[in-house]
Structure 1
Amino acid sequence: MSAAIVTPLIPDPVAAPIERPEYRAYEKLQTLDGVKLRPGVWHHGNKQDKETGDPVPFDEWLCGPLNVDAITRSEGQDSDYGKLLRFRNQDGKWLTWAMPNELLAGRPDAILAVLLSMGLDVDYKRRNQVCQYIANQHPKHRVIAATSTGWHTPELFIMPRRHIGTGDAIFQSETANGDDYRSVGTLERWQSTIAAWCEGNPLMILGVCTALAGPLLFHVKRQGGGFHYRGDSSIGKSTAMYAANSVWGHGEDFKRTWRATGNGLEGVAAQRNDTLLSLDEIGEANPREIGAVVYSIANGSGKTRASRTGAARAAKRWRVMALSNGEESLSQMIAKGGGRACAGQEVRLLDIPARRTHGIFDNLHGMVGGRELSDAVKLASHTDYGHAGPEFVRLLVESGEAAKLTDWLAAMADQFPNTSGQEGRAAERFALVALAGELAVKYGLLPLPKGHIGAAMIELFVLWRAGRGEGPGEDRQILKSIADFIARHGDTRFSGANDSHGEARDRAGYWEDAPTGRLFLFNRPGLEEAAKGYDLGRVVLALDSVGAIAKREAGKHQHKKCLPDGSKPRLYWIDPTKLEPET
């Protein structure tokens, strides 16, 4: 009988000699002095024997495998220092976190909270020593720390868990949450569903291409801004946002709500730098804060706050394209808080009517109705998402065309008819969205005909312009305020200018009949009250723009009126028929 073949066992790795006290991180099972050590971070130390006073070696396990692979810092090597951690969680998955060094200045809780939430196995009794281990590691490798997502250089785009382009940098944050930008499913299925369903549906195109336009802001040197889908409940406003969100992440989870503080929204905007800020249901916003929040989001700068020492902390900064929805407009929300929307706010968040042929849709793509297509979009945004945005950035970097974007934007904007500076700003916003969409078509990312997206954006711009009215927004608001004041108080706070017995409560002026109809002769306090919130000189400019000042003295905006009591006050003679009819 032949002898049995015996395969020798592979011995466990033997740990290198220890110079106690010392921390060691083992990725595999190790043997030290005949004792097996489980994978993880170990503290090899000495303790004094109580009787002899001799050092007695001990070995204590602190946590699962955790390595400090590099030192992170700013490109100028003068700030944002940190440590690049790489560790294996309880499911055997290797994860990374670029941890700011400033967390080491406080209690260990801030560091441990992140590591534990990501699944690192930690010995609870020795948890504080994990931070001591991290602080004691000094690797030679250096990596540039990017403290915001988006473009770090014209060739490098940073995301929480990946980067696109060329360059050695990593996203560094006090937290390690990259879930907002996670991806599931495939790009091909997203293209065959959500992208394909955009054809013939301008509101869907607006959402998806607004999401794609975020990365262009850096290259064309423009501030952010956005669009607000306004319409009745249950017509599909959220559906357009599901489609937009799916460009970068989960259709529903990527959005945030207006029901947040201004500080909270600043933090979200900074996390979405160079991508999309999606805010659901404007009716949940604080009416007293929303105007300032809109300015902040579009201008890309947070509040300046003091540090613990009293010095000014660096304000958060960002560039984002924003989408919002709700049954009310921005101006209605601001009015709820007792304010009046400024034209600058309305231009930064353009109000888009969301009622189309079938809810938000014009083309049902063979489905029974708008509800069925809406359900299909929502389902697709939950099963295939997070691919289109990163792929668009990758294709843009590879094309080498970024330097041409400014000229292309100007050419695209020339196709949008506009007559004022405010309309020009709005036109450029639509043009940026159109440019992003047409580039995506050119790169094969969106399966739509060439020129289709540009035509859809021109259609929506014309619709926005018609709903807004002609001329600067401030003029329309001033004229509306004066017209509303006359409608409310024309019979109580004015009396006939030639009536010696005329009385008026809290007099705002007088009225006088003329061939064209009744004129209202405002005194100065009355006109200031009627257009409250605007400088009187600005009010006069608005009245002049429509020829509403019916009578004036040379070089003045007022004209004297001889009253029955012999006084001759100078008054503003206003013809209400010249105020905008829609107001």
Structure 2
Amino acid sequence: MKPQLTAIESGENENKPGNVALKPYIDKRHGRLYYIERKQNKTTGAIDESETWVADELETVGIGSDGKDGYLVVRMKQEGSNTIISEAIPRREIGMPQGWARLRSRGVNITAKRGHLDLLANYLQQNGKREQWTITHTAGWHEGAYIMPDGEIIGAPNRPVAFCGGTSSVAGYVVRGTLNGWRYHVARLMNGNQSMVVGALTAFAAPLNSLAGGSCFGIHLFAQSSAGKTTTVEAASSIYGVPDELKLTWDATRYGLTVEAASRNDGFMPIDEIGQGNDVKHVAGSAYSLFNGTGRIQGHKDGGNKAVLRWSIVALSTGEEDFETYLLRNGITPKAGQLVRLVSVPFSDTTEFHDLDDGDQHSRAIKRESMRHCGVVGRAWIALLASDKEAACKKVDEKEKEWLASLPTDLSPQAKRVAVRFALLDATAELSAPLTGWNAGECSLHIRASFNEWLENYGTGNREKYQVVSRARDFIQRHALNRFQPYTFGKRNGDMDRNHASRINNLAGYLVYGRRADGGNEYHFIPSVFEEEILCGIQKKLGAESLEEVGMLVRPEPNRIDGKTITIDGSQQRFIVLIDGGNE
């Protein structure tokens, strides 16, 4: 008769501990997963077990879908840090090399033995919880909680959330030092310096901007000298992690920056130094795409389209010149929308060195301490926002109303949009004061000063109108004698007579001397030249209004910008007629 212990149970749960089934299985023991082999001892009748390590601690805790693929959510403990994280793995990757690579890349050790891997794949699919999770490819606010780009969840989500995205800078989202250490060694040294404070508040504003429903924007700090711009970017980056790992440059492809933006959704993007060896066309395209918040539609090889990348970010950029000048100097005409999304603010020199002797010591101290104390204050800030999202949004709303009420009533809508960005920084300063140790009133003065400097450069009116008028005046002053064919009107039928026979290369139109009652000249622009070199993509109606308002456009026929018909050498042609000068 066989001993009782050797009776093999059949059916349900045959491979769970406590049963006497001899089939090998995966089991969690000693905080890890082991391949368990069971054999009956022929002498004693007992069940002997042997353990072979398979993986660090892993378990399936949920399932979900991103709208296309199904996922298993695997919870794991990272070696060394003992941090518990969750990873959403597409079901098609379970048991495949890319699936194991995904888990190993998160800091988990897994066996390389093929047979054991097959058993582990079955274990993950057949065991564990089947709770529904929200699956997302982007960081930021989801289900009421905030997901850091490294997958860390801050706050309590309404339902479980798993992040299956990533960023090339994921290694930079780490925590070093303490909150008090950052406040004393970094924030204290920045305090009192206008641009440094504004730069740091731009970083703090990123998660709050998305929480309050704001759109993408950036602050571009510019100055010819070094002045501390890069130090400011590094200090601002230390709010969320290691500065050298998180800081980007404009020397990147358009697609690369948009992918990075999507992976840092609802977060901060520090981008250092426009103009240092960058391709201006790439920078212009990247800036437009980056602050548009939506990626390009791209097709799959096997048909259909890939999911469109979407994001909301706040950026801090630096350079030696303002964004508009940088583009113009390199032959690119900036759009007004670009200039109110990436707001150029002169960098205010660092003057407050606190207990340090000079600017060099001050800069080196901030850089050094930003590496030692980083990541902690950003997580504390997001946790503060997550704890009372309604109050945070209410503060932003209050500041927006306060700022808009203080502005001139005739301020352009574009300038008001920028004022709302600075109102957000003002709200950020007040809400983050317990973490930074800064006086909210002093921060508000810094923010107002920066806005006023921007407004002085940008102007209070519609920027597109200003650009049209400026281009028209510059064009006439530069090309009056080399791109316009001089003409005088004849006595018959208003025909124009040629003044001289020389041929004008790259003809822009015709110059009529003394045509005006005041003796002034008329410049008859060929319509295509006017559209390409004066309007530069701006609508004809808006361009005409701009020039008419300053008295430069002659419009003989209502509602037509090309309203003047002139007979030249027997052929009737329409022209846009401008006069030099006009009202300032």
TM-score interval, smaller chain: 0.7 to 0.9
Give the secondary-structure state (helix, strand or coil) at the position aligned to 1:497: strand
Counterpart-to-counterpart distance in 1, 2:27 and 2:178: 37
Task: Name the CA shift for 1:306/1:550 in 2 (closer, same or farther; >3 Å).
Answer: closer
Give the secondary-structure state (helix, strand or coil) at the position aligned to 1:401: helix
Contact 1:116 1:122 (8 Å CA) reproduced: no
Query: Paired residue for 1:312, among 288, 305, 308?
Result: 305
Give the secondary-structure state (helix, strand or coil) at the position aligned to 1:577: coil
Give the secondary-structure state (helix, strand or coil) at the position aligned to 1:238: helix
Q: Which 10-residue stretch deviates more, 398-407 or 250-259?
A: 398-407
Task: Name the CA shift for 1:529/1:276 in 2 (closer, same or farther; >3 Å).
Answer: closer
Give the secondary-structure state (helix, strand or coil) at the position aligned to 2:357: coil
Shift of 1:553: 4.7
Equivalent residue letter for 2:404: D
Task: Name the CA shift for 1:80/1:512 in 2 (closer, same or farther; >3 Å).
Answer: farther
Query: Paired residue for 1:24, among 13, 26, 30?
Result: 26
Other-structure match for 1:411: 401
Task: Name the CA shift for 1:366/1:519 in 2 (closer, same or farther; >3 Å).
Answer: farther
Task: Name the CA shift for 1:573/1:438 in 2 (closer, same or farther; >3 Å).
Answer: same
Query: Paired residue for 2:540, among 515, 531, 536?
Result: 536
CA offsets per residue over residues 207-226 of structure 1, 9 Å max, x none? Answer: 11111111222332221211
Counterpart-to-counterpart distance in 1, 2:270 and 2:511: 50
Other-structure match for 2:163: 172
Task: Name the CA shift for 1:550/1:136 in 2 (closer, same or farther; >3 Å).
Answer: closer
Other-structure match for 1:218: 210
Query: Paired residue for 1:325, among 314, 318, 324?
Result: 318
Equivalent residue letter for 1:536: K
Following superposition of structure 1 onto structure 2, how do residues 178-327 of structure 1 map, counting pairs within 5 Å? 178-283=170-275, 285-327=278-320
Shift of 1:254: 1.6
Shift of 1:187: 0.7
Shift of 1:274: 1.8
Task: Name the CA shift for 1:381/1:143 in 2 (closer, same or farther; >3 Å).
Answer: farther
Question: % of aligned pairs identical?
Answer: 25
Residue ranges of structure 2 left out of the alignment (5+ in a row)? 1-15, 40-47, 489-496
Other-structure match for 1:11: none
Other-structure match for 1:140: 129
CA offsets per residue over residues 396-434 of structure 1, 9 Å max, x none? Answer: 333451452453242243255351011011111111111
Structure 1-normalised TM-score? 0.82
Other-structure match for 1:380: 369
CA offsets per residue over residues 329-377 of structure 1, 9 Å max, x none? Answer: 43455457754211111111111222x3xxx313232433222222121
Task: Name the CA shift for 1:327/1:128 in 2 (closer, same or farther; >3 Å).
Answer: farther
Task: Name the CA shift for 1:473/1:106 in 2 (closer, same or farther; >3 Å).
Answer: farther
Give the secondary-structure state (helix, strand or coil) at the position aligned to 2:281: coil
Q: Which 10-residue stretch deviates more, 379-388 or 529-538?
A: 529-538
Other-structure match for 2:513: 512
Contact 2:324 2:339 (8 Å CA) reproduced: yes
Counterpart-to-counterpart distance in 2, 1:348 and 1:297: 10
Other-structure match for 1:424: 416
Task: Name the CA shift for 1:529/1:316 in 2 (closer, same or farther; >3 Å).
Answer: closer
Other-structure match for 1:100: 89
Counterpart-to-counterpart distance in 1, 2:469 and 2:120: 64
Counterpart-to-counterpart distance in 2, 1:114 and 1:229: 40
Task: Name the CA shift for 1:307/1:572 in 2 (closer, same or farther; >3 Å).
Answer: closer
Task: Name the CA shift for 1:165/1:73 in 2 (closer, same or farther; >3 Å).
Answer: same
Q: Which 10-residue stretch deviates more, 360-369 or 320-329?
A: 360-369
Shift of 1:463: 0.4
Counterpart-to-counterpart distance in 1, 2:430 and 2:440: 7
Counterpart-to-counterpart distance in 2, 1:341 and 1:258: 17
Task: Name the CA shift for 1:338/1:310 in 2 (closer, same or farther; >3 Å).
Answer: farther
Residue ranges of structure 1 left out of the alignment (5+ in a row)? 1-13, 30-38, 47-56
Equivalent residue letter for 1:81: Y
Other-structure match for 2:346: 353
Q: CA RMSD in A?
A: 3.4
Counterpart-to-counterpart distance in 1, 2:470 and 2:306: 42
Contact 1:494 1:504 (8 Å CA) reproduced: no
2:65 is the alignment partner of 1:64? no
Counterpart-to-counterpart distance in 2, 1:319 and 1:296: 12
Other-structure match for 1:115: 104
Task: Name the CA shift for 1:62/1:123 in 2 (closer, same or farther; >3 Å).
Answer: farther
Contact 1:73 1:145 (8 Å CA) reproduced: yes
Contact 1:512 1:521 (8 Å CA) reproduced: no
